[in-house]
Structure formats: structure tokens, C-alpha cells
Amino acid sequence: MPEPISSQQLIDKFWESVPPVWRRTRAQIRRIAFEKFQMSEEQFQVLRRIRRGSTSVSALAQASQTGLSAVSKAVDALVRRGLVTRSQDPEDRRKVPLALTEEGQHVMQAIFGEAEAWLAERFSPLSPQEMKSIMKGLESLRKAFS
């Protein structure tokens, strides 16, 4: 019978595993965005947040804990590249909603598609049993943090 695992052992394994995996994954996504699409970290984060529903410069600045000026510059660059549009809110002219253009959506799909291919490459040496164990562990982790 396997030896029981203490909560401290689990915590230690969490810190040894999750942050480094997440850091490497994020670094890979940033590398793809920069190398393939000449996109700065700030521009990528703006696109990602617009894709997830942030639709104003102030909401983006708040979500990223970045100044309005930096976010506004990133948005300006993305608008010039045709990846983001600004529109006028008919109800409130002071509001300027942001949205991804079709090209912006394609760029995000390409970045995340390459990131998924990179992840698949990382997982390819694993046996079906190891993959199943990781799936169970990830589901348990998600439940623990829900």
C-alpha cells in the first residue's frame, strides 16, 4: 500500500511544479507573439484581454494594473496594425469600445494554436497512463481551487 502523502508534501510539489510550468508556457506564448507577429508583451496582453471581454482602455489598464498611457499606446499600435477596432458607443459618446478585428482573431488563434502544438510536443513522450494520471490530477487541482 502506498505511503500517505502529507499536505506539506503536496504543497511542496505544487510549488515545484505549477509555477515553473506556467512560467515556461507563458514564455513560449510571448516568444511566439514576438517572433511570429512582432508583438510586444503589452500588445499581446491587450489582445488577450480584449478577446476575453475587456472592451475599454480603462478596463484594460485596471486588469493589467498598468497605467492608462501604456495601455493606450499598445491599443494605438494594435489599431494601426488592423488587429483592434475602436467604435463609438451610441448611448455614451465618451465610451470607446474596443474589439478584435477578424485579423486580430486570426492572430490570437495562430498564437494559441502554436502554443498548443508546443504543449502537445511536451506531452508526447508521456505514456497513455501518465497522461490519464495528469488529467486526473489537473481535474483535482481545478476542483480544489474552484
Overall number of domains in the chain: 1
Flag whether 67 is in a domain: yes
Distance CA 63, CA 46 (A): 10
CATH code at position 66: 1.10.10.10
pLDDT of residue 3: 87
Flag whether 95 is in a domain: yes
pLDDT in tens, 13-58: 999 999 999 999 999 999 999 999 999 989 999 999 999 887 888 8
Flag whether 24 is in a domain: yes
Flag whether 1 is in a domain: no
Helix axes 41-51 and 7-37, enclosed angle (nearest 10): 110
Flag whether 89 is in a domain: yes
Range of the domain at 93: 7-144
First and final C-alpha spacing in the chain: 30
Flag whether 2 is in a domain: no
Flag whether 20 is in a domain: yes
- The pTM (predicted TM-score) of the whole model is 0.76
